[in-house]
Amino acid sequence: MQVGIGIIGAGTVGGALARKLLDEGDAIAAKSGLGLDLVKVAVRNPDKARPFHLPADRVTTDPMEVVDDDRVQLVVELMGGLEPAGAVVERALRAGKAVVTANKELVAARGLELTSLAEEQGVALLYEAAVGGGIPIIRPLSQSLAGEPLSRVLGIVNGTTNFILTKMTEEGAPYDQVLAEAQQLGFAEADPAADVGGGDAASKAAILASLAFGTWIDGPSVPREGIDTIDVADLSHAAGLGYVVKLLAVAEETEAGVAVRVHPTLVPDDHPLASIRGAHNAIYIEGPQIGELLFSGPGAGGDPTATAVLGDVIDAARELLAGAQVTPPVRFQPSRLADLDHTVTRRYYRLEVVDSPGVLASIAEEFASHDVSIASVWQEGRGAGATLLIVTHEAPEAAHAAAEAELRALPVVREVGAMFRVLGG
Ligand SMILES: NC(=O)c1ccc[n+]([C@@H]2O[C@H](COP(=O)([O-])OP(=O)(O)OC[C@H]3O[C@@H](n4cnc5c(N)ncnc54)[C@H](OP(=O)(O)O)[C@@H]3O)[C@@H](O)[C@H]2O)c1
């Protein structure tokens, strides 16, 4: 049973997928019973060296030529970005073709509309590789755990930032130096903004939250903070207090709705996410019946990601041959995204203060005036100035923000050197 496949984009992931389809076709057929026939591939530059070989007449620079080819029943979008990828996916679905994509930016921004279109058209739109690269997480959330009223999903979903934070923590090296090294080693893009600024993780947080809680969360609406202003000194202060700093995607059910956000977070040393090092990714899920689940592994890279894409291609091809939707799409309720102001968090502050009697009392008073209670305080240094490390109890973000603004204005506070959220129980 043959299914015609068209791939749009044959770079890191698309190139690895094309190679698998061409070199491992017999093994795939033996295991799945499917013949996946690579009909056409679109790239920007047809003269570039690739890890696979195709006759020139099967390569094009026009993505729509792949979509419109009558032999292509299943379109794999691996070019990335919102456009023209969005137009390609939409046209393929409207033509009744199944679509597989790894494009988290597109799914997070237009997932609700595109999944509805796929459902209307009775074809699959699958995106396992959009979060966690080679880690199976979309199917577990949308199928295996569909009956569990999940309470929280926490993810280390960006390998670049986890690589940088791990190196800074373990080698005591500053951010700029580690970023340059990550770029040299291929762990960071020449323009790292989407990774280090938290945008990539925010798209993935939106997808995880939508699937976990069945309410559509738009990627662009997820509040995000990145790692680009982190001072290495705070990583060692955090270690001294028993924490490791991770860029976390957080999605949790709260009284105010589903709270979703991305920010650097102090994770207790003994939490399973604390041990996820380097470019690895992990998603930690909590629910009343399943307790705790940890999915971890390679969150990026051509071959691991292409494995996840191939799994989707096999599922979508089975659906095409069955002539019916085998995996019904998740139904999403209107957005229940909680207002960040009402989200309850714990915070860590590093304050540079003058060292004189009564400083601590005036700082404690500011916190108290906003109903933020202090869990612990450490002081380092004496003489001209001192460093205070403060960890608070839980309070709404709005209360924290008001307290922080007043701290910044206090004459005894020279600088709010750092602020991180602290992972609570
Ligand atoms: N890389 C990973 O580890 C990873 C992991 C998970 C998800 N993803 C997602 O997978 C997707 C692909 O990522 P990637 O890393 O493989 O990207 P990539 O290496 O930059 O490859 C992009 C491919 O798209 C082609 N392309 C771009 N614009 C085109 C256009 N207008 N017309 C025709 N072809 C065009 C490029 O052609 P040329 O080769 O000629 O330049 C290239 O082959 C993205 O959505 C990404 O977020 C990637």
User: The CATH number of the domain where 373 resides is what?
Assistant: 3.30.70.260
| Count of domains forming the chain | 3
Tens digits of residue pLDDT in 80-105:
999 999 999 999 999 999 999 999 99
Active site residues: 204
User: Is 194's pLDDT higher than 80?
Assistant: yes
Q: Quick check: is 329 in a domain?
A: no
Q: Would 335 be classed as within a structural domain?
A: no
Q: Let me know whether 258 and 285 are in one domain.
A: yes
Looking at the structure, tell me whether residues 83 and 165 fall in a common domain: no
Q: Return the best residue to mutate from 7, 17, 44 for the ligand 1 pocket (most ligand atoms within 8 A of CB).
A: 44
Q: Which residue has the tokens 């906003």?
A: 370
Residues 48 and 90 in one domain: yes
Are 313 and 368 in the same domain? Answer: no
Mapped onto helix, strand or coil, the DSSP state of residue 314 is helix
User: What CA–CA distance (Å, rounded) separates 258 from 260?
Assistant: 6
Ligand 1, atom 27, lies closest to the CA of 79
12, 17, 54, 105, best to mutate for ligand 1 pocket (most atoms within 8 Å of CB):
12
Residues forming beta bridges with residue 295, ordered by sequence position: 283
Contact 294, 282 (CB under 8 A): yes
Per-residue pLDDT at 356: 85
Range in 120-124, 207-211, 248-252 with the lowest mean pLDDT: 120-124
C-alpha distances out from residue 382 to 275, 354, 355, 363, Å: 34, 9, 6, 17
Q: Which of 54, 79, 128, 158 to mutate to test the pocket of ligand 1 (most atoms within 8 A of CB)?
A: 79
Residue 57 lies in a domain: yes
Among 65-69, 126-130, 333-337, which is the least confidently predicted range?
333-337
CATH of the domain at 35: 3.40.50.720
Q: Are residues 123 and 155 in the same domain?
A: no
Domain shared by 310 and 346, yes or no: no
Q: Which residues pair with 386 in a beta bridge?
A: 353
**What is the token pair recorded at 83?**
């456009």
**How many whole angstroms from 15 Cα to the centroid of ligand 1?**
9
The one-character DSSP state at 143 is I
Same domain, 360 and 285: no
Phi, psi of 193 (to 5 degrees): -55, -45
Report the CATH number that the domain containing residue 170 is assigned in CATH: 3.30.360.10
The residue nearest atom 14 of ligand 1, judged by CA position, is: 12
Two structure tokens written together for 110 = 């237009």
What percent of the chain shows pLDDT beyond 90?
Answer: 92
Domain membership of residue 330 (yes or no) is no
* Angstrom distance (rounded) from CA 143 to CA 235: 38
pLDDT in tens, 227-261: 999 999 999 999 999 999 999 999 999 999 999 99
Same domain, 151 and 188: yes
- Asked whether residue 101 falls in the same domain as residue 23, the answer is yes
Give domain status of residue 327, yes or no: no
Ligand 1: residues with CB < 6 A are: 9-14, 42-45, 48, 61, 63, 78-80, 84, 102-104, 129, 133, 300-301, 305
- For residues 96 and 425, give the distance between their C-alpha atoms in angstroms, rounded to a whole number: 46
Domain residues for 90? 2-134+302-322
Chain-centre distance of CA 141, in angstroms?
A: 14
The C-alpha atoms of residue 160 and residue 117 are separated, in whole angstroms, by: 33
The answer to the question of residue 334 being in a domain is no
pLDDT of amino acid 402: 98
> pLDDT, tens digit, for every residue of 11-42?
999 999 999 999 999 999 999 999 999 999 99
With bands split at pLDDT 50, 70 and 90, how would you rate the model's confidence at 381? confident
What spacing in Å lies between the alpha carbon of 10 and ligand 1's midpoint? 6
End-to-end CA gap in the chain = 51
Pick from 120, 115, 141, 146: which is nearest to 329 by CA? 115
Query: Which burial class, exposed, middle or buried, applies to 345 when counting CB atoms under 10 A from its CB (0-12, 13-18, 19+)?
Result: buried
pLDDT surpassing 80 at residue 326: no
User: Are 270 and 377 in a shared domain?
Assistant: no
Task: Indicate the pTM of the whole model.
Answer: 0.97
Q: Where do we find the tokens 């995996």? A: 327
Q: Ligand 1, atom 20: nearest CA belongs to which residue? A: 11
Pairing outcome for strands 385-392 and 344-354? antiparallel
293 and 145 within one domain: yes
Neighbours of 288 (CB within 10 A): 9
CA of 311 to the centre of ligand 1 (A): 19
| Residue 333 domain-assigned (yes or no) | no
313 and 267 assigned to the same domain: no
Q: Is residue 171 part of a domain?
A: yes
